[in-house]
Structure 1
């Protein structure tokens, strides 16, 4: 009888262990780089995956953060990068890092959940400590992939379903209705725009001559700051080197932008950082808006090129009957602020990626222009 009870005890323990093992979330499939084709489901790539109520990152998928982020209707963003085993990016001082064939960059757009069916308009606090997201706290909207193939980069937009279980490829873009609530409880109905393939190429076509697309965010100057990792805070460029994702980095001081919303930083540096990430990929010496003559990337320092007392190339509706791109000391007379404050598709800047005015960003640029030494343009 004693032996029988022992046997039943051992058998019961074994059964419990088997049940526990079965209940455990199975390991995800390895990241799958597709050298050609356009997979229908985001899960086919296995870069991020849903398990136990969370969006998780696969093995060797590295989350990263930018000092200042492109504004997208107050959406928060989870950014990741993955490279094949043994491959690494090459450092470049001004352009985006030179990523190897096989690289997959992802950017998941999401909002914190509010009361009822609302999502919150709030500052981006970043992903959770392990780089993942708890789905009960957030509403996933879309995940965009930039994939580096032999022929160059391709952009693929995936839209999350209502169940938050899968995202499907939407090559023609999509409109996602959302109710945006602010901290005072005010609500606003918006239609979040998922870009189509051509619009993706329009933003990421940072070189008008080559017509090829490239990453915008992962430049040394945007990555060169400390972030929190499981083992503590570390500089991102240094961490990328340590995990084998970045090759040799030059010694000495490296380029660095400051966070546009860091009120302790100088106003000039904050404003230029904001314009760099939101406008500079297009308004640059090589970008699609180079013919405007207004270059807003951080490497442009000529006051006229930045827009001070510069006549616009195009006249009409886009100027709001204002004569100069920037009138020092007078934000109300400047075309730049007029276009940032507009939601008219024929006027607003940036042209893509938003349906709302970034009120905090506009206020920063207004303060920057107001702080300039007053000057009568054309005098």
Structure 2
């Protein structure tokens, strides 16, 4: 399989080199290009969004919710560079690494409208997207430079031909086609660079920007590559982008929050991990809350069970405990997830709408918890 995969990668590189306007991946060590195309990670070729040679798509077991947007995630490293495996942390990526995340929606039949993404990517096995089926919104870049990581948001134009750096973010009005034939609207909020840092600085002591998605427990899953389905940790190792990884069975793995064959506990904890734990950890930006939503925290006050709020303010919704076992409607956690008011919602940035299915998952989990807070 390794030899076959190598041959496929060589063939794909040859085809990409022959394609007109094919992107060529670049690392910019200091300047921040105005145009996304100057990074060369992905580009528009014959009506498709295509990845450059060496740019590897990936996915997460349970992703962060962002207003039902679908996401194309990629990793690229300069030739000869590789990341080191870290069991409970983001992979140790070398200087020169470029990580992208492109947000898009499926197009509805009615012009000017989109549909909510159901969580299942529309990308092909090679990471390309058919632009006749989707509306691109933004591409966020995380680039690892000598001084550390930097986050840069790029907004796609209406023609879907180019994305432009918008350091101050943007507000994108969206019209969503509903199943009953009607339509609803909301404002998709593209974060500015400071808001990017509010999530991507998971250690409040250093305040250094870092990736939060590509951890082993999120990456340990299969992906449908052009040359066949493979575990992502194994694939990254085979293409030279990762060293030191154990066999997948020995690596941590989060559940897929939609996998009904997984336990309710595993699904709910994976959802809270992906959406909350980068802030709610002992060193995260929300460390003053005393709430730790990392997946290995035992049931108890640290996880929020029967814990009194410390500094939630109006975000308590007049509820007494972060998690009241068996009583989701009396739990602050559910109140904040099921909210879009700026001083009450959680997460504080990254969404303008409620994740109905995610809320129902957490509701069911809290209902299943034994015990009583008295």
Under a length normalisation based on structure 2, what TM-score does the superposition of the two structures give? Answer: 0.93
Alignment of 1:301-316 (within 5 A): 301-316=298-313
2:97 paired with 1:96: no
Structure 1 residues without counterparts, runs of 5 or longer: 1-23
Partner residue of 1:292 out of 274, 289, 296:
289
The residue aligned with 2:112 is 117
The answer for the alignment partner of 1:75 in structure 2 is: 69
* 1:129-151 deviation per Cα after TM superposition (whole angstroms, max 9, x unaligned): 22110101000000000000010
Deviation, structure 1 residue 37: 1.6
Please point out which of 218, 224, 234 is paired with 1:238.
234
Query: What is the CA–CA distance in structure 1 between the aligned matches of 2:299 and 2:179, rounded to whole Å?
Result: 40
Which residue of structure 1 aligns with residue 22 of structure 2?
28
Count of residue correspondences: 354
Task: Give 1:291 deviation, angstroms.
Answer: 1.3
**Distance in 2 separating the partners of 1:363 and 1:307:** 18
Residue matched to 1:272: 269
Q: Secondary structure at the match of 1:118?
A: coil
Q: What's 1:283 paired with?
A: 280
Write out per-residue CA displacement over residues 49-92 of structure 1, whole angstroms, 9 at most, x where no aligned residue.
00100000000000001001100000000000000101111101
The answer for the alignment partner of 2:200 in structure 1 is 204
The 8 Å contact of residues 23 and 43 in structure 2, kept in 1 or not, is answered as no
2:46 aligned to 48, 52, 65, which one? 52
CA contact (8 A) 2:115 2:178 kept: yes
Corresponding residue for residue 128 of structure 2: 132
Matched-pair contact (CA < 8 Å) for 1:153–1:212? yes
Q: How far apart, CA to CA, are the structure 1 residues paired with 2:55 and 2:70?
A: 19
Aligned-pair CA distance for 1:94: 0.7
Aligned partners of 2:22 and 2:52 also within 8 Å:
yes
Task: Kindly report which structure 2 residues correspond to 1:356-375, keeping only aligned pairs within 5 A, or say none.
Answer: 356-375=353-372
Counterpart mapping for 1:336-375 below 5 A: 336-375=333-372
Cα drift, residue 38 of structure 1: 1.1
CA 1:310–1:103 in 2, change beyond 3 Å: closer, same or farther?
A: same
3-state SS of paired residue (2:185): strand
Query: For the aligned residues, what is the CA RMSD?
Result: 1.2
1:153 alignment counterpart: 149
Q: Which residue of 1 aligns with 2:6?
A: none
Cα distance in 2 for residues equivalent to 1:354 and 1:30 = 32
Give the unaligned 5+ runs of structure 2. Answer: 1-17
What's 2:140 paired with? 144
Counterpart of 1:170 in structure 2 is 166
TM-aligned CA deviation for residue 374 of structure 1: 3.9
